[in-house]
Amino acid sequence: MSRSAVASAHPRLTARSFRALGTTATVVVPDPSHADAAHHIVRTEIAAIDLACSRFRPDSELAHLHANAGCTVRVSSLLFEALDVAYSVAERTHGAVDPTVGNAMEALGYDRDFEQIESRPLPPGDPGPIPGFRHLHLYHKLRAAGIPRGIRLDLGSSAKALLADRAAARVVDELGSGSLVSIGGDVAVAGEPPPGGWAIGIAVDSSAGPDDVDQVVAIHRGGLASSSTDVRSWQMGNEHVHHIVDPATGRSAAPYWRLVSAAGASCVDANALTTAALVWGDQAVERLRPFEHAVRLLRHDGEVITLGDWPEAERP
């Protein structure tokens, strides 16, 4: 990673942005003649992952898996990849980022597309810990999966990062062009980067313009993810909640960090750490050190802590 000038330093870069999956999707390519084709590729990848992994579509593969809980179900290669990635992320983060949070998410009111969430009182009582990722059973030779009855999965965090990785790689494979794909601030890059690397703004709101970001950094390969407790949040009765569930409590993680950003060998790799850090709260810095990644943590009181080779912000 390095500090970078804003993206306007590369005037030939061409971006296409659009709404998808309740957030903003963006694809950037160096050659303007590839922009429309890259846009189409990203839209195709989004449609495929939505059909495979959506909690909200009755026709999704994930809905079929839920309907057949207690059985072993053969699934598509895409859903199996998403399930396998979610399991691996849970292992790597020691259960901090866990796919068996589906029921907890629904109890928090996130039982429909984000724009359609309606405020209502939270269920009474303490929901307690979620079941845990080891209740997800994957059978690699059969390309099949199984969950016990009563468990519902949510693949949102890791699947969104996987989508960015897949889409960026597919743009390179099909167009021979370097690419950057951002899905709500989860960024993957692939192929030949522009001179100085891909410039990425760091901000709580992933749709912030170049003049409103906290810092601009550059990456040449892999991914960069940011996770926040501020943007995807809503009111439930008298309580303010957000989409990052603490597996130990079944409730929204305590809002210790406002924004965590990290670089990784892939967007999945980076996103695993940023999401886990929000769950780890005041223990995040020490838990992140062994990973030796470049990480930036913005605390709710405004203090910024960086780890690894995250570049220092330029002083005004």
pLDDT tens across 112-125, in order? 666 666 667 777 77
The Cα–Cα gap between 225 and 30 comes to 21
Whether residue 52 is predicted with pLDDT greater than 60 in this model: the reply is: yes
HEC string of 227-278 equals: EECCCCEEEECCEEEECCEECCCCEECCCCEEEEEEEECCHHHHHHHHHHHH
The Cα–Cα gap between 152 and 69 comes to 9
Q: Minimal CA–CA distance to 108: which of 156, 163, 160, 158?
A: 156
pTM, whole model, 2 decimals? 0.90
Q: Taking all residues of the chain, what is their mean pLDDT, rounded to a whole number?
A: 89
Burial 62-72 (b: 16+ CB within 10 A, else e): bbebbeeeeee
Supply the DSSP symbol for 2. Answer: E
Look at residue 7 in the predicted model and tell me its pLDDT: 41
Whether residue 68 is predicted with pLDDT greater than 70 in this model: the reply is: yes
Whether residue 9 is predicted with pLDDT greater than 50 in this model: the reply is: no
Look at residue 114 in the predicted model and tell me its pLDDT: 62
Confidence of residue 156 (pLDDT cuts 50, 70, 90): confident
Q: Out of 15-29, 166-180, 230-244, 284-298, pick the least confident.
A: 230-244
Q: Which amino acid is at 252?
A: S
Look at residue 111 in the predicted model and tell me its pLDDT: 67
Look at residue 130 in the predicted model and tell me its pLDDT: 93
